[in-house]
A and B are shown apart, each in its own frame.
Chain A
Amino acid sequence: MTQHPADHAVRSSRSSAFRPRPAISGRLSGRLAYVVASRQAGGLVAPALTLRIIGLVVVLTVLLQLEAPFAVAACLPAVAICMLRARSAPVPVAPDRTRSKAQSAPAAGRRRTRWIVITWIDLLSTLIVVTLAAWTTAGLPANSRYLAVGAAAMLHAVAATRLCLDPRWYRPDPRPRRLSRRLRALAGPLGVVACLALVLPAPWEPGERTIVTFLLLLPLANVALTQDQDLTMGRVVQLIRTEAQDGRQAVLDELHGTLSANLRLLEQAAQPLRVTSPRLYELAVGANSTLRETLSLADPRLDSAAQPQTLNALVRTLTMAVGASGELTIRLDRLADADRDLVRLVLNDLLATLLAGGANRVQATVELSQGSLGVTVAGDGHGRPVEHRLPPLRQRLASVGGTLSHCGGSDDVTRRPGRDAAWHGYVVAWPASPGTG
């Protein structure tokens, strides 16, 4: 059995066969996750505000018994921030990722920075209230102290939970940063530890610390709420995508029904003109391929058909049209427009060459190696490839400093089909354009 570079593609395709590179990964990520979480965060504003007001009123009432203006004054930042953030809720519209940083950064960046600073001050101010409730109330009866500490712990728990459930902070669109994810997962225990560290060293009677420890477990509620949000949000996002799928599918059906025969004919009509006008033929191939690639948009996770992975649609439709099977492995993230056009042309010509020769199974690979873009196309051989498309392709490649060579296979034209079939193939390479990588 002849070994062939495409065997490598076959092996690697088992693990990295075409999967549309998702703009979204994980249940917490993506535009829809942002929108869904924003709606929830908006709905929680009123209950959170009420809880905070209750907490602040309780703490201030206890502190006022002390006749210590310093303690009351130290609570004022918490009161101010509580009022400042009373109506602060994310707008349930995901940030526009299509705008460049230059376009969106100044205003949005400033707003976000301001919001984050206020949020951290908010958390800090609640911890100050927790500290005050524990340390300045030493002369008061135990029940008043418990009330103050409990209310302060609740303030902190509410502030931390609102932060953890707010998508403006952990930014699920496009995906949350690792630090945010970790902080979010640990927010409950961290809150408890911080509160315990601030409160337990204060002067308490024997036995009172147990009660206080119980009180300070309140921030753990955060864990249950964030876990619930993750679990439910994942299902919501999945369901919305499934339910909305028919919109994309309907327009794709219309589009392909209207254009597929038209562009196929266009490519056929341009074929005889290839020698006189190579550009015309290239455009016709590009149009037909582009239409095929738009089929990838049926995947609701994809927001653009102009991704390297969507080239797989070209391979699939070309091979399926003759009852063969094909697979494309892509080992790069971006393709410049010029390279993309050439990859389409190369795939189109080489696949047609192999399929016309009777190949039943075709493997193609597109990869970047040392600044050179390489396309390998190989198929099992049941006959000699029909190579009339190769001279014009060689010419086109030569114009960009590229090469085309055979690989694998042999000149034996009587090969057995199936596993023992030999492979015919071609390797094409040319210097990659800037933007490909």
Chain B
Amino acid sequence: MSGIILAQPQELRRDRLASLVLLRRLATYTIRIGVEKLAMVAVAVAVTLASDQRLLGWLALLPALIGTALNLLALVATQGTPRGRLLRRYETHLNSIEGRPQLNLPAFVECLGAVGMIVAGAWAVTDLPDVWRLVYVAAGTAYACLVSCSIFDDNAWYNPKVRSPTWQEVDRVLCGVQVCVLVLGVSWWAPWQPGERIGLVVVAAIGFTVPLRAGATQLLVADLEPLVEAERQRGTRLVIEETSRELLPILTELRQLAAELGPDAAAVQRLADSALSGIADIPNQVAHSATQGDGQPLQVVAERLSSLARAAGRDLTVTLPPNLSLVDDDRRLASQAMRDLAGNSISASATRIYVELRQIGPRLVVIVADDGHPIPDGVWKSPGSSSAALEAKLAARGGSLSVENSTLNKLVMATWVSAG
């Protein structure tokens, strides 16, 4: 039934997010399946030891044992730096197949191992009672299912960078039928007591757990992008609503109190008004960001800074180059630099502040000069501060953040290479 789910066209299935999810669960999933496979091999070994026809039994079991050893080796090779040329080559081989619709060496050997185990249960240990043999065949079938799960429930089927040939897609849809056919085809003709063959049919039906598991996984990882978008919008709305809910009553009461206090609290009233209009404007800014890319237009930033400076009784001038067209990344960074640096100047008791954005060749420069106190040592760019965050962003764009203190004024410069 889950074949219906697995039959989804690969164009719809292959998706970056789905592939990432399965890549992230790969290590845990592989270890879990590996342990389960080990348990099945242990059952097979126990039955083989109980049989008199050990040579045949061991021969048939050999690929499964080698597959187990290769898997353990893969664990060693992929965890940390592999030692030895052979181990490094093995790691290279595993990495080269990773995320691609191809069988790697351990998977190939394990496929042989699954056939070997079913053959051994049906044909090799015939001296044992049928129940034991049935248990052996069941262990072989479960082993085949686990190998199939690690093949068909893998991130390679979701990797958007590759395409599988049609036969592989059909193979995946029919993965359950394949296991059934394998079990019945190999073991049906072996010598069984009358009535035991119905047991084989039951055992073969275990194969249908493979499409069930792969289909259930596909349902979990399908079409995640709308969920991400909904979550993104929810986060945005939440921050706006939370902030408005918390801040608006405080600022409204504050403005009222300031108005009652009269001229002594005029600056407080102006600043409260400015903050209230800023909060009211946040949804517009976010809506603008959503439609026009990140960040406010620089003219809006300049207007807000001027209005804030007026409210605080400072004299602030912003100069933007005429007809300057910036890409989103540059606009966002310029906006952050202007707001951070000018905001610091305003609150650091400067009375006259000058802000300018310039383009000098391929570089953009934000200059903020003021007549405030020099920046004390150890405060600016301290870890976690906004200036440290700004400097990190500038450095990532080949830029820097510097200050020149003098007795009369202070000049802060943020510069970076334009992305435009």
Chain A residues in the interface with B (C-beta under 8 A)? 32, 35-37, 39-40, 43-44, 46-48, 50-51, 142-143, 146, 150, 165, 207-208, 210-211, 214-215, 221, 224-225, 227-229, 231-236, 238-241, 243-248, 250-266, 268-270, 273, 276-277, 279-280, 283-284, 286-287, 290-291, 293-294, 297, 300, 303-306, 316, 320-323
Contacting residue for A214 out of B138, B213, B311, B312, CB 8 A: B138
Contacting residue for B134 out of A214, A224, A227, CB 8 A: A214
B101 CB to nearest chain A CB (Å): 20
Q: Is B325 an interface residue (CB 8 A)?
A: no
Task: For A291, list chain B residues within 8 Å (CB).
Answer: 243, 247
Contacting residue for A211 out of B198, B236, B382, CB 8 A: B198
Q: A244-B232, A261-B344 are in contact. Are A321 and B379 (CB under 8 A)?
A: yes
B381 to chain A: closest residue by CB: A323
Task: For A46, list chain B residues within 8 Å (CB).
Answer: 1, 4
Asked if B265 and A273 sit within 8 Å, CB to CB, the answer is: yes
Contacting residue for A265 out of B222, B240, B308, B378, CB 8 A: B308
A413 CB to nearest chain B CB (Å): 20
Interface centre among A39, A207, A283 (most CB of B within 10 A): A283
Asked if B195 and A322 sit within 8 Å, CB to CB, the answer is: no
- Scan B339-383; emit 1 where CB is below 8 A from any A CB, else 0: 110111011000000000000000000000000000000110011
Task: For B346, list chain A residues within 8 Å (CB).
Answer: 261, 265
Which residues of chain B from 224 to 243 have any CB-CB distance to chain A below 8 Å in the complex?
224, 227-229, 231-236, 238-240, 242-243
Which residues of chain B from 23 to 40 have any CB-CB distance to chain A below 8 Å in the complex?
24-25, 28-29, 32
Asked if A321 and B268 sit within 8 Å, CB to CB, the answer is: no
Asked if A244 and B231 sit within 8 Å, CB to CB, the answer is: yes
Asked if B253 and A283 sit within 8 Å, CB to CB, the answer is: yes
Q: A214-B203, A277-B261 are in contact. Are A257 and B339 (CB under 8 A)?
A: yes
Asked if A261 and B347 sit within 8 Å, CB to CB, the answer is: yes
**Lowest 9 CB-CB distances: which A-B pairs, in order?**
A261-B343, A247-B232, A47-B1, A244-B231, A248-B235, A323-B382, A43-B219, A323-B378, A244-B232
Q: A269-B312, A323-B379 are in contact. Are A287 and B235 (CB under 8 A)?
A: no
Asked if A229 and B220 sit within 8 Å, CB to CB, the answer is: yes
Chain A's interface: helix, strand, loop or mixed, by majority?
A: helix
A229 CB to nearest chain B CB (Å): 7
Asked if A211 and B199 sit within 8 Å, CB to CB, the answer is: yes
B336 to chain A: closest residue by CB: A257
Interface centre among B217, B222, B261, B272 (most CB of A within 10 A): B272
Q: A245-B235, A254-B285 are in contact. Are A232 and B217 (CB under 8 A)?
A: yes
Task: For A221, list chain B residues within 8 Å (CB).
Answer: 209, 212
Task: For B231, list chain A residues within 8 Å (CB).
Answer: 32, 240-241, 243-244, 247, 300
Asked if B233 and A247 sit within 8 Å, CB to CB, the answer is: yes
Q: Pick out which of these stretches binds chain A: B50-58, B117-125, B163-171, B276-284.
A: B276-284
12 sample A-B contacts, Cβ–Cβ < 8 Å, listed by A number: A207-B131, A214-B203, A221-B212, A240-B231, A244-B228, A255-B282, A258-B282, A259-B278, A262-B311, A269-B267, A270-B254, A297-B235
Task: For B344, list chain A residues within 8 Å (CB).
Answer: 261
- A160–B253 Cα distance when bound, in Å, is 57
- Scan B374-400; emit 1 where CB is below 8 A from any A CB, else 0: 000011001111100000000000000
Contacting residue for A232 out of B17, B221, B261, B343, CB 8 A: B221
Asked if B247 and A47 sit within 8 Å, CB to CB, the answer is: no
Asked if B213 and A225 sit within 8 Å, CB to CB, the answer is: yes
Contacting residue for B268 out of A255, A273, A290, CB 8 A: A273
A103 CB to nearest chain B CB (Å): 18
Q: Is B289 an interface residue (CB 8 A)?
A: yes
Task: For B347, list chain A residues within 8 Å (CB).
Answer: 261, 264-265, 268
Asked if B285 and A240 sit within 8 Å, CB to CB, the answer is: no
A266 to chain B: closest residue by CB: B271
Asked if B228 and A235 sit within 8 Å, CB to CB, the answer is: no
- A150–B285 Cα distance when bound, in Å, is 62
Q: Is B162 an interface residue (CB 8 A)?
A: no
B190 CB to nearest chain A CB (Å): 16
Task: For A258, list chain B residues within 8 Å (CB).
Answer: 278, 281-282, 285, 304, 339
Q: A232-B25, A258-B281, A294-B239 are in contact. Are A47 and B2 (CB under 8 A)?
A: yes
Task: For A143, list chain B residues within 8 Å (CB).
Answer: 198
B261 to chain A: closest residue by CB: A277
- A294–B254 Cα distance when bound, in Å, is 19
- Scan B299-341; emit 1 where CB is below 8 A from any A CB, else 0: 0010010001001100000000000000000000001100110
B312 CB to nearest chain A CB (Å): 5
Asked if B268 and A224 sit within 8 Å, CB to CB, the answer is: no
Task: For A215, list chain B residues within 8 Å (CB).
Answer: 202
Asked if A262 and B274 sit within 8 Å, CB to CB, the answer is: yes
Q: Is B49 an interface residue (CB 8 A)?
A: no
Could you list 12 further interchain pairs (A-B, Cβ under 8 angstroms) beyond the known A239-B21, A243-B17? A36-B227, A146-B202, A214-B134, A235-B25, A239-B24, A251-B240, A251-B282, A268-B347, A290-B246, A297-B242, A300-B231, A323-B385
Task: For B1, list chain A residues within 8 Å (CB).
Answer: 46-48, 50-51
Interface centre among A44, A247, A268, A297 (most CB of B within 10 A): A247
- Scan B199-219; emit 1 where CB is below 8 A from any A CB, else 0: 100110100010011011101
- A279–B251 Cα distance when bound, in Å, is 12
Asked if B239 and A40 sit within 8 Å, CB to CB, the answer is: no
Task: For B271, list chain A residues within 8 Å (CB).
Answer: 262, 265-266, 269
Task: For A316, list chain B residues within 8 Å (CB).
Answer: 384
Task: For B257, list chain A residues within 8 Å (CB).
Answer: 277, 279-280, 283
Asked if B261 and A44 sit within 8 Å, CB to CB, the answer is: no
Task: For A284, list chain B residues within 8 Å (CB).
Answer: 254, 268
B383 to chain A: closest residue by CB: A320
Q: A254-B282, A266-B275 are in contact. Are A146 and B198 (CB under 8 A)?
A: yes
